Structure 1
């Protein structure tokens, strides 16, 4: 839903995100406005956790119609902060960020700005955790922003790469309309009346143009992520995306990803209980304390 895809932008050498004045809060928190590579302002919040910059950071990418101030996002961030520093941010077109939502396309640039900010604060290891639309964004971001290679080569901006990736309740393919919630979402995005509802009721400003070109699909992005550790989490009662979506993602990884199918879980942040969020955070920080990847396993808890 944009005139140019995020993939096209990230193959150039964009400027580093500019930061506006930063507000300092209690316990070392920081609130600032980042600039994505295309200039869109992105509202962002940092919580250092108990280890501060000595430990890893988790960058949380919310779902469609969310923002960093929503209670379900704050709850997930509070759990993650028990294990690592946490950056939450608001995607373009949502909340206090600028621009319009492209429903997962140019949002990759917002995530890249947030990851680069986490690194600028001193975190040597950064994990991206995305929910629903944010899940598709963390997958495409990891494919487009590769870690630097020993020979100095690499795609995208090296300081914006993720060291591990978690996609929760993510779609595997675009234009899916096989469930009633997804048919309602397509009405919201593609119809003028739907976009009016999005703006005034859901606080989400949606771009009016279709994707051109269509961005790389989540399933198409997954094979490009390895050897970066990847965890796919999905509920077996997800009303938006049935379990063929996470299985398609895991199949695309060809053994280089871990899949957790969660019994009784619904969709995204609202359905992820504190126990599951704690397990996700433990997996994330464990990538750096144990060196293991746990690849190729499918778990039910």
Structure 2
């Protein structure tokens, strides 16, 4: 009888382990493995505030204006090799009236460098050169996994050096949205070139573990433990990083450049409290703007003029000019 119970217990444990490994591989393939398929994330839809902001005619006119401007620009495709041997691509737009200022714009999860046309146009009109990288595992860049900003942080150090050395920029800002915000926050903890004067993070998450656990809860109604821990182990084996180490919180604690945190108060994809916690953890000169009525990365849509004025103010404070 005792032997039988041991066999039953052993079989149960083995079955659970097999199930957890299968679940971990499933979530790795859904969330980490490179894929062109889009993913429906919790909180990723348009908010009521954003939907009501402009009439369809106004929205269409504005979009057409931005796209017409974008089509006229001559973006150059530039490339660098990452420290681990990946060919990374970016779109670079040299300003017709060079000022020595440049910005790196970081896209979000499953995005690419062709996105963010509105903020691209605004920066260009302020005299900035624009660099828009495809994150590893995205767009034209190599990489068979998504790093959620962790390995990408070192890529952004290299892109910053590219702007400083090749484009001769003396003033550089990093500005990211969602995963791109987490990327620039994680990069803030690295040794960036002296030309980097500030970092703007719009809707960034605290850690990969917390963000994926948040999505797991709402999309699958599953607790974080132990699925996320198993998936993290699989990610470490296959992609070389763990969810817990991929932390914007730890990075901003080491950051020395001015930091501007932007977050919508209706953000269900990356909870607003994450932005507040990042701000609280930062040790550098910092600013926090919680945007009323804004969902995920909607601040620029909902409060465009105020967003632009706050950016100008931040640039001035960060550079002293």
Alignment TM-score > 0.5, same fold = yes
Give the distance between the partners of 1:186 and 1:162, measured in 2 at CA. Answer: 42
| 1:272 has 2:317 as partner | no
Counting matched residue pairs gives 235
Question: Per the alignment, do residues 128 and 284 of structure 1 end up closer, same or farther by CA in structure 2, a change over 3 Å counting?
Answer: farther
**Which of 137, 157, 160 lines up with 1:93 in the alignment?**
137
Give the distance between the partners of 1:90 and 1:182, measured in 2 at CA. Answer: 29
TM-score (norm 2): 0.64
* Residue number in structure 2 paired with 1:167: 201
| Contact 2:197–2:319 (Cα < 8 Å) also in 1 | no
| 1:219 has 2:249 as partner | yes
* Residue number in structure 1 paired with 2:76: 30
**Which of 228, 249, 253 lines up with 2:282 in the alignment?**
253
Question: Per the alignment, do residues 184 and 106 of structure 1 end up closer, same or farther by CA in structure 2, a change over 3 Å counting?
Answer: farther
- Comparing 276-285 with 256-265, which one deviates more in the overlay? 276-285
**Which of 168, 180, 197 lines up with 1:122 in the alignment?**
168
**Which of 67, 70, 79 lines up with 2:122 in the alignment?**
79
| 1:241 has 2:241 as partner | no
**Which of 181, 195, 199 lines up with 1:135 in the alignment?**
181
| 1:145 has 2:174 as partner | no
CA RMSD of aligned residues (A): 3.2
| Contact 1:101–1:107 (Cα < 8 Å) also in 2 | no
Per-residue CA distance 1:118-170 (angstroms, 9 max, x = gap): 11211111100011111111112121124xxxxxxxxxxx47x6221111100
Q: Following TM superposition, by how much is the alpha carbon of 1:221 offset from its aligned partner in structure 2, in angstroms?
A: 1.3
Question: Per the alignment, do residues 184 and 96 of structure 1 end up closer, same or farther by CA in structure 2, a change over 3 Å counting?
Answer: farther
Give the distance between the partners of 2:77 and 2:141, measured in 1 at CA. Answer: 12
Give the distance between the partners of 2:319 and 2:242, measured in 1 at CA. Answer: 42
| 4+ residue segments displaced more than 6 Å | none
- Comparing 55-64 with 42-51, which one deviates more in the overlay? 42-51
Give the distance between the partners of 1:183 and 1:55, measured in 2 at CA. Answer: 45
* Residue number in structure 2 paired with 1:7: none
Structure with greater helix share of residues: 2
* Residue number in structure 2 paired with 1:195: none
* Residue number in structure 1 paired with 2:112: 67
Structure 1 regions of 5+ residues with no counterpart? Answer: 2-24, 147-157, 192-206, 292-301
Structure 2 regions of 5+ residues with no counterpart? Answer: 1-27, 29-70, 229-236
Q: Secondary structure at the match of 1:211?
A: coil
Give the distance between the partners of 1:222 and 1:185, measured in 2 at CA. Answer: 31
Give the distance between the partners of 1:141 and 1:92, measured in 2 at CA. Answer: 14
Per-residue CA distance 1:156-192 (angstroms, 9 max, x = gap): xx47x622111110012332256558754999xx99x
Larger Rg: 2
- Comparing 136-145 with 215-224, which one deviates more in the overlay? 215-224
* Residue number in structure 2 paired with 1:5: none
Q: Secondary structure at the match of 2:275?
A: helix
Per-residue CA distance 1:242-278 (angstroms, 9 max, x = gap): 221111111112573100001111112x553243552
Q: Secondary structure at the match of 1:225?
A: coil
Give the distance between the partners of 2:263 and 2:176, measured in 1 at CA. Answer: 12
